[in-house]
Amino acid sequence: MTRLAYGDAIREGFEYAMRRDPKCFAIGQGLWSPWYVGNSMKDLDKKFGKERVIDTPVSELATTGAAVGAALNGYHPIVVHPRMDFMILAADQIVNQAAKWRHMLGGRVSPTVTIRGIVNRGGEQGAQHSQALHSWYAHVPGLRVLMPATAADARDMLIAAAQSPDPVMYIDDRWCYDLAEEVAPAADVDIRSIKPVIRREGSDLTIAAASYSVALSLAAAELLEKDGVACEVIDVRALNPFDPALIRESVERTGRFLAVDGGWSTCGFAAELVASVAEGVSPAKLKGAPARITLPDAPAPTSAPLEKAYYPTAELIAERVRQMGR
C-alpha cells in the first residue's frame, strides 16, 4: 500500500494504462505544460514521448473526432479536456459519434475512446470556466460516465476507461486533487465492476453523491455525528449505466434520502437519484420526502460574495439533514 493523492493517482492511471497497452495514448490541450491540468499529467510526455502524449492546437472538435477515429481504427486514446466548458465544442463527436456508432452500425464497431472532462471551478472564474455537465453526458445512451471521488477510484476508473470496449466519459474534479488515501498496487479493471459503494454506514438517513459531492457529504456526516445523526453516504461512481440497487436498499433501512450533486437542479443527476428512490422504494418505508441539494439554477458568478453563496458546503448539507428530521 502507498499513500496517493487524487491528482497523482490520475497520473498513475495514465502510466499504468499506457504501459500496459501500447495502443493507449493521451491527446489534448496543455499536455506539455507543467500546470494546465494540475499535477495530473506531469511529465507523462517525458516518460512516454511526445508521440504518445500529444499536445494539440486549440481545436476541441477535431482533436476529439481524431481520437474517435483512431479508436475506430484499433487505438485506445484518452482525450483530455482541461475544462468541461471547452469540451462543449466537441459535443458532436462525443454525443452523435462516439456514443452512437456501436448501436447504429449493428454492434460491430467499438469506439474505444476515453474522454476525460475536468471540472475546474471556483476562484472567481465565472460562467464559462466552472461547469459540471456530467448530467448531460449521463443522459446519453452509449456513453459510460464515471466520476471518481477517491484517489483509488481516480486511478482505477481511468484504467477501466482506457480498457473499456465502450466510449467512456471520465470526469475528475480539481477540488478533489489533494484527497489522499492508502492504495493497493494498480491492476486491470473491468468497467462493469464499477458500481455504487457505501463510503460511510449510518442508520438515520441516506445521502447519495458522486465526485467532490461525496467528500462534502462525508464532511457533513461528520458534523451530524456530533448531533447524534448517523448518515449513510453512498458514492455513486458510475452515472451511466446507473445501478440504483444499493441506494434503494439503503433507503429502505434509513427511510430518508438526500441527493447531493455539484450540477444544476433541473433535469440534473440529483433528479435521477431522487427518481430512483421514488420509483424503487415503497412509500411505506419512507419517513419523509426525498430531497436534493444542487447548485442554484444559475450560471456561476464571479463576484466573491456571490461565488461563496453559490457552491454547496458541508454545513449546508448538514443543515438540510437536520431539517429533514429524525
Partner 1 sequence: MQFEDKLGYLADPRQLTEALDLKNASTDALVAFYRDMVLIRRTEETIAELYTAKETKTPVHLGIGQEAVAVGVSAHLNSGDRVYSGHRGHSHYLALHAPLTAILAEVMGRATGASRGMGGSMHLFAPESGFHGSVPIVGATIPIAVGAGLACKMDGKGQVAVCYFGDGACEEGVLHESLNFARVMDLPVLFVCENNLYSSHLDIHLRQPSNSVARFAEAHRIESRVIDGNDVVAVSEAAADLIEGARNGGGPGFVEAVTFRWLGHVGPNADIDVGVRRSPEELKQWKERDPVRRLTDALKEARGVDQSRFAEIDAEIETEIADALEAARGSDFPAGNVLIDYVYAGGRS
**Residue 47 C-beta: closest distance to partner 1, Å:** 17
Q: Which residue has the cell 424503487?
A: 280
| Contact between 32 and ligand TPP per CB under 6 A | no
- Residue from 61, 72, 89, 219 touching ligand TPP (CB under 6 A): that is 89
When the beta carbons of 29 and 131 are compared against ligand TPP, the nearer one is 29
- Residue from 21, 47, 52, 55 touching partner 1 (CB under 8 A): that is 55
**Residue 63 C-beta: closest distance to ligand TPP, Å:** 10
Spatial contact of 179 and 33, defined as CB atoms under 8 Å apart = no
Spatial contact of 67 and 77, defined as CB atoms under 8 Å apart = yes
Binding region for partner 1 (CB under 8 A) out of 73-81, 225-233, 275-283, 301-309: 301-309
Tell me the chain's radius of gyration from C-alpha atoms.
19
Q: Write the binding mask 103 to 132 for partner 1: x where contact by CB under 8 A, - elsewhere.
A: --------------------xxxxxxx---
| Alpha carbon distance 157, 149 (integer Å) | 10
- Give the three cell numbers for residue 303: 463576484
Q: Is 192 left (phi over 0), alpha (psi -120 to 50) or beta?
A: alpha
| Contact between 59 and partner 1 per CB under 8 A | yes
Among partner 1, ligand TPP, none, residue 141 binds (CB under 5-8 Å by kind): none
Bridge-based pairing state of the strands 197-200 and 231-235:
antiparallel
When the beta carbons of 279 and 297 are compared against partner 1, the nearer one is 297
3-state secondary structure of 58: coil
Q: Which residues contact 241 (CB under 8 A, 6 or more apart)?
A: 144
When the beta carbons of 46 and 322 are compared against partner 1, the nearer one is 46
**Residue 57 C-beta: closest distance to partner 1, Å:** 4
**Residue 322 C-beta: closest distance to ligand TPP, Å:** 41
| HSE-CB for 186 with a 13 A CA cutoff | 23
Count of residues of this chain found to bind partner 1 when the rule CB under 8 A is applied: 37
